[in-house]
């Protein structure tokens, strides 16, 4: 029997949703959080990567993971990137890393999901969330069929503007990555609404946040993964980002997943959930 592993990284639940929905089509597959992997010898015939687009490319932990893994055994590699809609060259960037291992993605797709950059973008409303979740399930049907048949499928950007696709977005990607999202990692803070619950520390996937005297502190020496779990899962909306509209914007996390579900990526047993209208209490 063909073995399959689906590796995922998810800050506010979108990519976790896609990974678990895909798992329904391949119940024999193993769903594995990327940041939990310690053995990089991948013993599976089919390997998939599910993650959000960050700075128009892959998140830092996905990049580190691809640099370390041994892909001698897998015969078929696929990737699914969730995004807010902007064009990007994330799969090209992945192939450049995989080329060093004499491999390339056999198939890749984009799936649009609600944007969790709520300190900048408009907060998605319930109608939009439900629509995008429903559309994602529909898109996953042919994707699962293609994976099952080991088809070669390479999604392309819908952006038609040469200037935006070839110049603007690639340049923005470089700037955002080189400057850590314009030094956003140094702009997080908790305002007076903070109750010291420590939830931000629990969901911080890079371990950047620690509690000091009942308040969250973002450690300067620790890398931020920019998953924005801390700001979006704070039960009091107390976490802010300086020089943004975070004080007046809402928050977004996938309605299926609690802070506990996100924190489980750091260790513990994965659990499966289904549906899209369920409330995600913290």
Dump pLDDT digits (tens) for 121-175.
889 999 999 999 999 999 999 999 999 999 999 987 665 555 555 666 666 667 6
Residues of the chain with pLDDT below 70 are 1, 157-173, 175-176, 181, 268-282
Q: How far is 15 from 208, CA to CA, in rounded Å?
A: 21
56 within 8 A of 89, measured Cβ to Cβ: yes
249 within 8 A of 223, measured Cβ to Cβ: no
**Could you report how far apart the first and last alpha carbons of the chain are, in Å?**
39
* Residue 181 CA, distance from chain mean position: 16
Task: Look at residue 269 in the predicted model and tell me its pLDDT.
Answer: 37
Global pTM reads: 0.90
Task: Look at residue 270 in the predicted model and tell me its pLDDT.
Answer: 36
Task: Look at residue 277 in the predicted model and tell me its pLDDT.
Answer: 32
121 within 8 A of 92, measured Cβ to Cβ: no
Task: Look at residue 236 in the predicted model and tell me its pLDDT.
Answer: 97
Task: Look at residue 183 in the predicted model and tell me its pLDDT.
Answer: 79
Task: Look at residue 56 in the predicted model and tell me its pLDDT.
Answer: 86
Task: Look at residue 114 in the predicted model and tell me its pLDDT.
Answer: 95
* Farthest-apart Cα atoms in the chain, separation: 56
Q: What torsion, rounded to 10 degrees, do the Cα atoms 274, 75, 58, 66 define? A: 120
Q: How far is 115 from 50, CA to CA, in rounded Å?
A: 16
| Mean pLDDT, rounded, of the chain | 89
Of 123, 128, 108, the C-alpha closest to 51 is 108
Task: Look at residue 179 in the predicted model and tell me its pLDDT.
Answer: 79
Of 275, 33, 255, the C-alpha closest to 137 is 275
Q: Which helix (H) or strand (E) holds 31?
A: strand 30-33
Angle, CA 22 vertex, CA 85 and CA 147 arms, to 5°: 90
Q: Which helix (H) or strand (E) holds 7?
A: strand 4-8
């Amino acid at each position: 029997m063909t073995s399959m592993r689906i590796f995922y990284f998810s800050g506010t639940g979108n990519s976790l949703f896609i990974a678990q929905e895909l798992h329904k089509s391949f119940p024999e597959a193993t769903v594995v959080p990327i940041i939990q992997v310690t053995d990089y010898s991948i013993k599976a015939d089919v390997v998939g990567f599910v993650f959000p687009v960050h700075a128009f490319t892959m998140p830092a932990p996905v990049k580190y993971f691809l640099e370390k893994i041994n892909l001698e055994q897998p015969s078929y590699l696929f990737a699914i990137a969730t995004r807010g809609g902007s064009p990007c060259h994330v799969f090209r960037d992945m192939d450049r890393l995989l080329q060093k291992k004499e491999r390339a993605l056999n198939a890749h797709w984009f799936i649009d999901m609600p944007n969790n950059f709520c300190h900048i973008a408009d907060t998605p409303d319930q109608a939009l969330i439900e629509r995008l979740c429903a559309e994602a399930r529909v898109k996953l049907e042919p994707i699962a069929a293609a994976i099952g048949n080991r088809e070669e499928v390479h999604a392309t950007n819908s952006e038609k503007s040469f200037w935006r696709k070839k110049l603007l977005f690639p340049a923005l990607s470089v700037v955002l990555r080189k400057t850590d999202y314009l030094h956003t990692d140094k702009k997080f803070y908790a305002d007076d609404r903070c109750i010291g619950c420590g939830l931000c520390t629990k969901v911080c996937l890079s371990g950047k946040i620690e509690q000091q005297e009942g308040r969250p502190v973002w450690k300067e020496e620790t890398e931020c993964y920019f998953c924005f779990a801390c700001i979006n899962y704070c039960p009091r909306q107390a976490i802010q980002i300086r020089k943004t509209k975070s004080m007046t914007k809402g928050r977004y996390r996938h309605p299926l997943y609690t802070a506990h579900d996100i924190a489980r990526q750091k260790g513990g047993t994965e659990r499966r959930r289904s549906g899209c209208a369920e409330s995600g209490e913290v």
